[in-house]
Amino acid sequence: MDRRTLNIGIVALGIAAVAPRLAHAADVDIEAALKPRIEGSPDAKLTMIEYSSLTCPHCAHFHEAILPKIRETYIDTGKMRFEARDFPLDQYALRAAAMARCAAENRYFPLMDMLFKQQSQWTRATDPIAAIKQIGRLAGINSERADACMSDEALLDGILKIRLGGQEDHNISSTPTFVIGTETVVGAQPFETFQKAIEPQLG
């Protein structure tokens, strides 16, 4: 994807109106921020990839009601690893994803869980960006760093590339969508639906 296409993607999400763009903030480690976010054993036989948007209510439901059981049954037991990939649907989802990727790696998934848990509050706040930053403080991200991450052009572009990769590689068109080995599950389905997709592939 070239710069022009990426910029069009940002405009389409309404990003320009939120905050001034920085060419690249010196304190943002882009390579570390865009590193794949994976939870679970690297030796797990199966990988479950989630494409989600932090402003998607169905994604929030999955993280609150379904993912804990999947973690308990498959991720914590070493049978499957879980990879989170960003598929932002709007300007605030993109900004929140950028901030989350600036968290320490061991705080990334707890921060994502918190952003989903408090989604109804920060998405409806008078100033959603300020509300996102307040949640970020719980993960050790101060206001200055949050601003740098949420306005860093290279980081925003990198997140949009992840979204484009989902569209091109897996035909992702809605969130949440899960690629589990050779199976695809669309939507925050009951645990049993995921179980049916997972079990046959574990052998």
* Amino acid identity at 176: P
* Count of beta carbons in the 10 Å neighbourhood of residue 55: 23
With contact defined as beta carbons under 8 Å apart, do 156 and 166 qualify? Answer: no
Query: In whole angstroms, what is the distance from residue 125 CA to residue 33 CA?
Result: 26
User: Which residue has 């290279």 as its token pair?
Assistant: 154
Domain ranges (residues) in the chain: 3-14+42-202
Residue-by-residue pLDDT tens, the chain, 203 positions: 444 444 445 445 554 434 444 444 447 899 999 999 999 999 999 999 999 999 999 999 999 999 999 999 999 999 999 999 999 999 999 999 999 999 999 999 999 999 999 999 999 999 999 999 999 998 999 999 999 999 999 999 999 999 999 999 999 999 999 999 999 999 999 999 999 999 999 98
CATH of span 3-14+42-202: 3.40.30.10
> pTM value?
0.88
With contact defined as beta carbons under 8 Å apart, do 176 and 187 qualify? Answer: yes
Closest CA to 138 of 155, 159, 118, 124: 118
Query: In whole angstroms, what is the distance from residue 118 CA to residue 104 CA?
Result: 20
Closest CA to 18 of 202, 184, 156: 156
134 Cβ partners below 8 Å, 6+ apart? 122
* Count of beta carbons in the 10 Å neighbourhood of residue 62: 22
Query: In whole angstroms, what is the distance from residue 103 CA to residue 52 CA?
Result: 18
Can you give the C-alpha Rg of the chain in angstroms?
16
Identify the pLDDT of residue 23.
Answer: 41
Identify the pLDDT of residue 13.
Answer: 58
Query: In whole angstroms, what is the distance from residue 140 CA to residue 102 CA?
Result: 10
> How does DSSP classify residue 44?
-
What the block records as the tokens of 62 is 């999955």
> What is the dihedral angle through the alpha carbons of 4, 9, 7, 129, rounded to the nearest 10 degrees?
-170
* Count of beta carbons in the 10 Å neighbourhood of residue 31: 8
